[in-house]
Amino acid sequence: MDLRNLRHLVAIARRLSFSRAAEDLGLSQSALTRSIQSLERQAGMRLFDRDRTKVSVTPLGSIVVERASALLADADDFERMLRQTARGEEGRLCFGMAPLPAWTLLPTALSEWINAAPALTNEVVVRNVEALWPLLIAGDIEFFVSVEGQVPDAPPVRAETLGLFPFTLIVRAGHPLLLGNCPGATFPVLISSRGGIDVTLLADLRDWAAGPPHVIEDYNTLVSLTKTTDAIWVSSAYSVIRDLESKMLFALDLLNGSAPENFRMVMYSLDRRSQSPGMLRLKQALRQRIRDLQAPSEHNHDV
């Protein structure tokens, strides 16, 4: 059964006039009459009683009009859902984030998006790459975002760079190393994940480290520990911009130049899997957030 016939049926029932309904629909009256006659033949019943002065809906026609109206409303909802899904505004987006990008990028990127596309459900898994990788392979998440260089070589994955993050050694206000080199002193070292931390950077910290680094994935805990202990947190200035601006935390400059200054933040997805509109929109939002962080700003990086 053609939905156009049902739209014609509902239009006539609303107007109780073939001529006015034809005008509303942009059809000739004869074309509208043929449409209703075809529908009546399919239904095996009269849907309207007509004479020279009026049109009325038959009792059985009223039942058909009611069901047709509900069906058309569902069809309109379905068409709207298809359009919104194609634009990434409806549906479900499942993805993963390592702790650093989740803390640094996600709140700002998602806040604008949630307001703009409230019908799109976001399901976010925040874990280290060792936990995110099997979720990606199993298809439980569409992609994940992490520091470059933490995924296995196979199977093939698509790796798209979102932007660069600066390596930063972060300490509390009043930390002993802000006053000098503190010969012989050692301090706890904090990291959010073993992966993605350049070994040369940790080697540069060897003389200052009081043992192997502590791995803590929760950023609230990392920030709290850094503010309340003499720990050196290996992270990025992007993760604590406000604390650096307010001088609650400071950036150290103790590296000898062998370690890289930046690291890549990468979006990983399966190589042959099509990217959903939601993923494309989020990728754009994350890149914009990194560009905003890279914009010139006054942060205190003095020792």
Per-residue pLDDT at 74: 77
What CATH number does the domain located at 3-86 have?
A: 1.10.10.10
Flag residues of the chain having pLDDT under 50.
297-303
One CATH from 3.40.190.10, 3.30.565.10, 3.30.470.20, 3.40.720.10 for 91-163+264-294: 3.40.190.10
The DSSP annotation for the chain comes to --HHHHHHHHHHHHHS-HHHHHHHHT--HHHHHHHHHHHHHHHTS--EEE-SS-EEE-HHHHHHHHHHHHHHHHHHHHHHHHHHHHTTSSEEEEEEE-HHHHHHTHHHHHHHHHHH-TTEEEEEEE--HHHHHHHHHHTSSS-EEEESS-S-S-S-EEEEEEEEEE-EEEEETT-GGGT---TT--B-EEES-STT--HHHHHHTTTTBSSSPEE---HHHHHHHHHHSS-EEEE-GGGGHHHHHTTSEEEE----S-S-SEEEEEEEEETTSPPPHHHHHHHHHHHHHHHHHHS--------
Q: What is the pLDDT of residues 2-44, one digit of tens each?
A: 888 888 988 888 888 888 888 888 989 899 889 888 888 888 8
Per-residue pLDDT at 182: 82
pTM over 0.75: no
Per-residue pLDDT at 68: 87
Output the CA angle 168-174-177, nearest 5 degrees: 55
User: How far is it, in rounded angstroms, from Cα 267 to Cα 144?
Assistant: 6
**Joined tokens for residue 236:** 């990025």
Domain assignments of the chain as residue spans, ordered by start: 3-86, 91-163+264-294, 166-262
Q: Do domains 91-163+264-294 and 166-262 have the same CATH topology?
A: yes
What CATH number does the domain located at 166-262 have?
A: 3.40.190.10
Q: What is the pLDDT of residues 68-103, one digit of tens each?
A: 888 887 777 677 656 655 555 557 788 999 999 999
What phi and psi values does residue 60 have, to the nearest 5 degrees?
-70, -35
Output the CA angle 263-269-274, nearest 5 degrees: 140
